Amino acid sequence: MRSAYLESQKSQQGRKLMACLPIFYPKPVLTALNICAAEVWGPPGPPRSAEAGRIQTYVCPIVRNALAFLAGRSAELADGLLCPHTCDSIQGLASVLPDFGGWAKPVIHFIHPRGPRRASTLAYLNQEIRGFVKNLEAFAGQSLDPNRLRWALELHRQIDTLAAKLLARRAYLDVDDFTLYTTLRKGEYLWPEDFFEELKRMDARLSDTVVQKGLPLLLSGIVPEPMSLLKNLDDAGAYVAADDYAAIGRRILPHADPPPSDPFAALVETYFAAPPCSTRASSIDGRREHLSRLAAARGVKGVIFHPIKFCEPELFDIPLLKRRLAELNIPVLVLESGLESELSGQTVTRLEAFVEMASNHGSQA
Amino acid sequence: MISRRVQYELAGRVAAPFLTKLDQWQAARKTKHPKRPTSGLFGPPLESARALKALMTSYYLRGRYADGAVPVAWVTSGFPFEPLEQLGYFIIYPENHAALCGARKLVPKISAAAEQEGFSLDLCSYARTDLGNVLKQATPVGRLPKPDLLCCSTNICQTVLHWYRNLADYLKAPLVLVDTPFIYHASPEHHLQYVVDQLEEMIAVAEGIAGRKLDRQQLVEVLARSREGSMLWRECLATGRAHPSPWTGFDTFFHIAPIVTMRGTDKCNAYYRHLLDELRDRVAKGIGGIARERIRLLWDNLPIWFNVRELSALLAERGFNFVCATYSNAWAEAGCSIQLGEPIPSMAKAYLEVYLNRDLANRLETMKQLAREFDVQGAVLHSDRSCKPYSVGQIDVKERLASDLGIKALVLEADHCDQRLYSEEQGKTRLQAFMESFDG
Ligand code: SF4
Ligand code: SF4
C-alpha cells in the first residue's frame, strides 16, 4: 500500500521521492520543493536482504535493516537518500552505502549541531540549512520559492499543532493506541497535506469526556517498534498517555506565534524549541525536566523506557532519567527491543507484570 | 590552596622521580631473574619502556594532587586541548585511564558500578570504565583529580558526548563541547567556521575557570610543541617500514601514551626524541620487534587492551608482526597539520579532519597507503563490539583490501577493554587459521 501510494506521488503528482533515514531534518524544505519524504525506520521484521551482513550484528537493527533494504534494491522508487547525522551508526551507514556499494543515486546529508543553543550553533544551523536547501534544489531541479517555503512552514505548523493536541488529549480520544500510532506514523511517508487530512479525521474522534480507562503510561524511546507492543499494553489494561518517542513526540515542534518573517529563522527557531532528544544531545537535565512535566501533566502512573537494542544515544540517558523518576515515585520499566514483528512471550509477561505493579503502586500511594 | 599546590609540585618533582628510581632499581634486580616466558620470541625490549613508565607514573601521581592546586580538565582524546595547556590546566584523558584499566584487566570490576546504575554492557567500555570509576572510585592510579571543566569533541565519535553529558551531571562540572561535523568527502566552509566559533567559546569558558586570559603568543608555542611531538611520533612509527620492523604494532599501543596525554609539552617531545633514537639504532643494527619477522601485518581499530601480550606472543611464535596500525597512525595526523601562522583556524581544521571524523572511502585510502608503505601482506581488523564508529564498515573494508591490494584480511570480533565481550579461544582459533592461510 505504501509503495502504491509513493508510486502515485511520483507518477500522478510529479513529485520526487526521497528516502530519509531517521530522525531530524527540516522537512518543510522538502515539502516546499515538492519532494515527498519516505522515512526508512528499518523497516521492521527480519532484514530484507543478505546485505545486512555487511554491518556487524552488534549494531542497531534500524541501521542493519536499512542497509538490507536500501542496498537490496527494495527502495528503487526513491530518487535520492537523505542522511541526517543522527548517531555514530547512521553516520557509518551513510558512508557504507555510497562508498562501498548499494546506493548509486544522490545522497544528501544534514548534519545538525549538537548540544545547547549557543551563538556558534545558531550561526552554523542557519548556514547548514542554507547548504541543505542548495543541495535539495539541485536534486529537485528547481529553486526554492520563499513564499512556497512560508506555505510549507504554515502547513507543518498546523500538522504539529494538531498532532500535539491529539497527544495532549489522548485520554479523550476514542481509539486504541495501535490505531492512533498507525495514524501518527503515516507522517513518515504521506505527503504532508494528506497526512494533515488523516490527523483531522482522528481529531473528529475526540470526545468531550475522558474515554480511556486504562492505566496511563509514558513511553520513551526511538520508535514504537514492534507496534504489537501497543496491543500488548492494551491487553494488559494500560494506554500511552504521554509520548516521548523520537519518531513521534520529540518531532512535534512548538512553533512561534507569530512565526519569524524570515522562514530560515523560523526553521532555526523550531529546531531549538523541539522537545529534548538524546540524538540531538540535549542536556540530560532538559530531558529529565521534560519527562517530569509530561508525567505530571498526563497523570502518568508508570514509565516505560523502550530503547532499540544497541542504541547508544538512548542507553546512555536512561540511568539518570530513571533516577529522577524514582525520586518522583513513578515506577519504571526498561524494555529493550529489536525490530522483530512481535515481542517475545517472556517480554510480554514482564510488561503485564509491570502494568499490574504500577496499578497497585498507584492505589497504595 | 597553597599547601595543595606544594603537594602537587612535590608529587611531580620529588615523589615521581623517587618512585622511578625505585622502580628502576627493582627492574635491574629482576633482570637477573627474567620471568618473561616468551622472551625468545621477541627482540630485546625497548630501553625507552622504562622512561615511558616513569613519565606515566609521574603524570598520574601529579594528577592525584592537581585538583585544588591548578584547574583540572577532563578531555576526550581528540579535543583541541592546546589552549587548556597554555592556561595551566592539568589535563586528564579518561580514555587513556580506561585503557590502562583495560590493560590491567580491571574493567569488568570497575564497570560493575556503572552497570549497577543501569548503563548497558553494550555501551563503549571506555565510557563504562570511566563512569564506574566516578560512581565508585576503583582506579589503579590512586585517584583521579576532580574536574573543574569537562571538554568533549565529537571528532572521534558521538559516544563521547553522551558519556560526557553523564559526567557533567554526576560530577556537577561544566561541559564545553567542540562539535565537529562529520566529513563526507569534503567539508563546506561553514563547518570549519563552526569549529572556529566553538573554539573561541571554549576558550572564554576555560579562561573564566582558570581566572586568567589566554596568552595567544604562548598558545603558538604550545601548538609548535604539539606539532613537533606529532611529527616525532610519526617518525617513530615510520621506522616500522624497515625490515624487520624495530618494534611491533603492539609496542606502539603503549608508547602512544605521551602523545595522547602530554602533547604540547617538552617532556613529551624529549621522550619521543629518545624513542626515535633508539628505534633508528635498532633499524641500523637490524634488531626486530620480534625475533623472526616473516609476515608483516596491519592492525585496524583500537587495541584489545586486555589481550595485547597474549596476542603478540601468539603471532610472534609464527613470525607474524604488526608493523603498522590505523590507531597509532591517527595520533600522528592531527598535530602535524597545524599551521602556526593562524592558530585558531588551523587548530579547527586539524581537529576537524581527524581520521575518525572522515568517511569510509578516506579510511580505506589511509589503510591502503599504510599497507603499501609498510609493505604488509595481511590485515587484522578488530571488530570492536563496543566501539561502533570505528567498526561499522569494516566488513566492506576487508573485501576491498583483498580485492584492491590482494592482501589477506581477517575480521576479529573482540572489545577494546572488556574481556567479557571476547572469546579468547575462538579468537585464537581464528588467528591461527588466518596465519595458516599464509603458508597454504
Ligand atoms: S536506534 Fe539509536 S543507534 Fe539506531 S539509528 Fe536510531 S539513534 Fe542510531
Ligand atoms: S572507543 Fe570508540 S566509542 Fe569509545 S570513545 Fe573511543 S571512539 Fe568513541
B residues 220-279 lying closer than 8 A (beta carbon) to A: none
For residue B31, name the pLDDT band (cuts at 50, 70, 90). low
Q: Considering only CB atoms, which chain A residues are within 8 Å of B124?
A: 312
C-alpha cell of A159? 500538522
* Mean pLDDT, all residues of chain A: 96
For residue A363, name the pLDDT band (cuts at 50, 70, 90). low
pLDDT at B328: 96
ipTM: 0.96
pLDDT at residue B247 greater than cutoff 60: yes
Flag if B360 and A95 touch (Cβ within 8 Å): yes
Q: Does residue B115 sit at the A interface (CB-CB below 8 Å)?
A: no
Task: Read off the pTM.
Answer: 0.95
pLDDT tens digits, A206-216: 999 999 999 99
pLDDT at B110: 98
Residue in A222, A316, A339 to alter for ligand 1 test, most ligand atoms within 8 A of Cβ: A222
Ligand 1 atom at minimum distance from A312 CA:
3
* Least confident span in A17-21, A182-186, A195-199, B334-338: B334-338
d(CA B14, CA B93): 23
Average pLDDT over residues B326-332: 94
Flag if A312 and B359 touch (Cβ within 8 Å): no
Q: Is the CB of B152 under 6 A from ligand 2?
A: no
Residue identified by cell 621506522 is: B239
pLDDT at residue A125 greater than cutoff 70: yes
B residues 334-373 lying closer than 8 A (beta carbon) to A: 359-361, 364
pLDDT at residue A324 greater than cutoff 60: yes
Q: Considering only CB atoms, which chain B residues are within 8 Å of A123?
A: 190, 193-194, 197
Q: Which residue has the higher pLDDT, B39 or A353?
A: A353
Average pLDDT over residues A17-26: 98
For residue B34, name the pLDDT band (cuts at 50, 70, 90). very low
Q: CA-CA distances (angstroms) from residue B89 to A279, B12, B83, B425?
A: 31, 15, 9, 44
Peptide bond into B80 cis (omega under 30): no
Ligand nearest to the CA of A225: 1
pLDDT tens digits, B150-183: 999 999 999 999 999 999 999 999 999 999 999 9
pLDDT at A115: 84
Supply the DSSP symbol for B140. T
Q: Does residue B185 sit at the A interface (CB-CB below 8 Å)?
A: no
pLDDT tens digits, B126-135: 999 999 999 9
pLDDT at residue B149 greater than cutoff 60: yes
pLDDT at B358: 97
Ligand nearest to the CA of B76: 2
d(CA A314, CA A103): 28
Best interface-test mutation with B: which of A24, A54, A55, A56 has the largest number of B CBs within 10 A? A56
pLDDT at A85: 97
d(CA A354, CA A346): 12
Q: Where are the alpha helices (DSSP H) in B82-188?
A: 82-86, 94-103, 107-117, 125-135, 159-171
Average pLDDT over residues A186-190: 98
pLDDT tens digits, B254-285: 999 999 999 999 999 999 999 999 999 999 99
pLDDT at residue A362 greater than cutoff 90: no
d(CA A103, CA A84): 16
Q: Considering only CB atoms, which chain B residues are within 8 Å of A54?
A: 395-396
For residue B439, name the pLDDT band (cuts at 50, 70, 90). confident
* Least confident span in A37-41, A113-117, B409-413: A113-117
Distance (Å) from the C-alpha of residue B229 to the closest C-alpha of chain A? 30
* Mean pLDDT, all residues of chain B: 94
- Domain regions of chain A by residue span: 2-144
Residue in A20, A39, A69, A90 to alter for ligand 1 test, most ligand atoms within 8 A of Cβ: A90
pLDDT at residue B36 greater than cutoff 50: no
SS3 A35: strand
pLDDT at B32: 55
Which DSSP string do the residues of B270-330 spell out, in sequence order?
HHHHHHHHHHHHHHHHT--SBSS--EEEEEESS--GGGHHHHHHHHHTTTEEEEEEHHHHH
Q: Which residues of B25-36 are buried (b: 16+ CB within 10 A; e: fewer)?
A: eeeeeeeeeeee
pLDDT at residue B184 greater than cutoff 60: yes
pLDDT at residue B57 greater than cutoff 70: yes
Flag if B179 and A115 touch (Cβ within 8 Å): yes
- The domain made up of A2-144 is a member of CATH 3.40.50.11890: yes
d(CA A149, CA B197): 29
Cβ(B93)–Cβ(B126) below 8 Å: no
Q: Please give the order of strands across the beta sheet that includes B72-75.
A: B90-92, B72-75, B149-153, B175-178
pLDDT at B334: 74
Average pLDDT over residues A126-138: 98
Residue identified by cell 579547527 is: B348
Flag if A114 and B193 touch (Cβ within 8 Å): no
Flag if B162 and A127 touch (Cβ within 8 Å): no
pLDDT tens digits, A88-102: 999 999 999 999 999
For residue B410, name the pLDDT band (cuts at 50, 70, 90). very high
pLDDT at B11: 78
Work out the percent of chain B whose per-residue pLDDT is above 70: 95
pLDDT at A258: 83
For residue B59, name the pLDDT band (cuts at 50, 70, 90). very high
Q: Does residue B201 sit at the A interface (CB-CB below 8 Å)?
A: yes
Cβ(B252)–Cβ(B283) below 8 Å: no
Tell me, in angstroms, the distance from the centre of ligand 1 to residue A89's CA: 7
For residue B111, name the pLDDT band (cuts at 50, 70, 90). very high
Give the count of Cβ contacts less than 8 A between chain A and B. 155
H or E element, residue A3: helix A2-11
Average pLDDT over residues A183-205: 98
pLDDT at residue B316 greater than cutoff 50: yes
d(CA B382, CA B99): 16
pLDDT at B10: 82
Distance (Å) from the C-alpha of residue A193 to the closest C-alpha of chain B? 33
Ligand nearest to the CA of B164: 2
* Strand bridging mode A215-221 / A238-245: parallel
For residue B30, name the pLDDT band (cuts at 50, 70, 90). low
The residue nearest atom 3 of ligand 1, judged by CA position, is A311
